[in-house]
Amino acid sequence: MQRLPVKNILVACAGLALAGCAVAPAAAPGSALVIPLDHLPVLTGQYFPIDSRETGHLYHIYISYPEGYGEQRAKRFPALYILDGDSLFPHLASNQRFLHYDDDVPGMLVVGIAYGSFEPPQNRRRHDFTVGADAFGRFLENELIPRVEQSVRADPARRMLLGQSRGGGFVLHSAFTRPDLFWGRIASNPTVDLLPSLLAAPAPASRRDLHLLVASGSLDDPQYANARADWLGRWTGRNDLPWTFRSETIEGGTHAADSARAHRLAMRWLFRAGPAAK
């Protein structure tokens, strides 16, 4: 499948319009509208579609390059994979650049996994992150990660996965079922009551350098927060887990609006960087 430059991305509906990118009027459903991203250098990188055999679904993959990627041709970079890329990729790919400037976090590749719409059936997050979690996990491991690591200079030893809400629940599922696949995982306000895997003992890992951070907003909706508090009580403080486990509360944080704060907490922790890193 041919890789396309970002500036030639064909967006099928206005629902895919990246935050801050849509400078033209919204297209009518079903029409074709070219959204040029070459005027947004913070998102410079690649795009390719991938039709998964594992899930039977089409995904849109965006990769943003770190600063200096073109000049440092012998270097491999950490890679952060972001679920719900339709909204979180433009937001957190930009934020990652600021963390590099201000917090001493290394430059990295940011991989956004998008559906191309916020609406079902094209958007399958309710399926992929719950009952379809095993198939989606195989898509990541067997199809997406090999394709990314053939396309860009990503460091296989420093893969990271970030998800929000149901996506955060999938991050936990991945940590419990395939711990070795990602070096670092960030679950922002994860839902924890939709996946039976989160109640079973985690699978063993062959690596001893794995990390998992759960970030919870102090003002998260009680229907999510109460279940998460019970779940955290079950796993916090144990010394038999395959990853270093950390739970953080974001004071004043709500369910959906603080993913960038969770992202920053995690990057500073994972790379032990920045003046206030813990």
pLDDT, tens digit, 9 for 90 and up, residues 95-128: 999 999 999 999 999 999 999 999 999 999 999 9
Domain locations in the chain? 37-270
Least confident of 11-20, 62-71, 135-144, 202-211: 11-20
Question: If residue 262 lies in a helix (H) or strand (E), which one and from where to where?
Answer: helix 259-270
pLDDT band at 275 (very low <50, low <70, confident <90, very high): low
In 3D, which of 64, 140, 149, 130 has the Cα closest to residue 100? 64
Cα–Cα distance between 91 and 5 in angstroms, integer?
Answer: 20
Q: Specify the pLDDT at position 74.
A: 92
- Tell me the mean pLDDT in the region 264-269: 96
- Tell me the mean pLDDT in the region 158-166: 98
Cα–Cα distance between 195 and 202 in angstroms, integer?
Answer: 13
Cα–Cα distance between 213 and 19 in angstroms, integer?
Answer: 26
Q: What percent of the chain has pLDDT over 90?
A: 81
Per DSSP, the three-state class of 59 is strand
Angstrom CA distances, 5 to 44, 63, 146, stand at 9, 10, 19
Beta strand 4-5 with 45-51: parallel, antiparallel or unpaired? antiparallel
Give the up-direction half-sphere exposure of residue 257: CA atoms within 13 A in the CB hemisphere: 8
Q: Note whether 137 and 182 are within 8 A (CB).
A: no
Q: Note whether 54 and 142 are within 8 A (CB).
A: yes
Q: Note whether 149 and 176 are within 8 A (CB).
A: no
pLDDT, tens digit, 9 for 90 and up, residues 89-104: 999 999 999 999 999 9
Q: Specify the pLDDT at position 33.
A: 73
Q: What percent of the chain has pLDDT over 70?
A: 86
Q: Specify the pLDDT at position 107.
A: 96
- The CATH number, out of the four listed (3.70.10.10, 2.70.98.20, 3.40.50.1820, 3.40.50.300), of the domain defined by the range 37-270: 3.40.50.1820
pLDDT band at 22 (very low <50, low <70, confident <90, very high): very low
Residues 6+ apart with CB under 8 A from 271: 104, 105, 106, 277
Cα–Cα distance between 235 and 122 in angstroms, integer?
Answer: 35
Cα–Cα distance between 243 and 210 in angstroms, integer?
Answer: 5
pLDDT, tens digit, 9 for 90 and up, residues 185-244: 999 999 999 899 999 999 999 999 999 999 999 999 999 999 999 999 999 999 999 999
Residue 59, strand partner residues:
50
Q: Note whether 157 and 125 are within 8 A (CB).
A: no
pLDDT band at 34 (very low <50, low <70, confident <90, very high): confident
Q: Specify the pLDDT at position 232.
A: 96
Residue whose entry in the numeric block shows the structure tokens 């990314």: 148
Q: Specify the pLDDT at position 36.
A: 77
Residues 6+ apart with CB under 8 A from 25: none
Per DSSP, the three-state class of 83 is coil
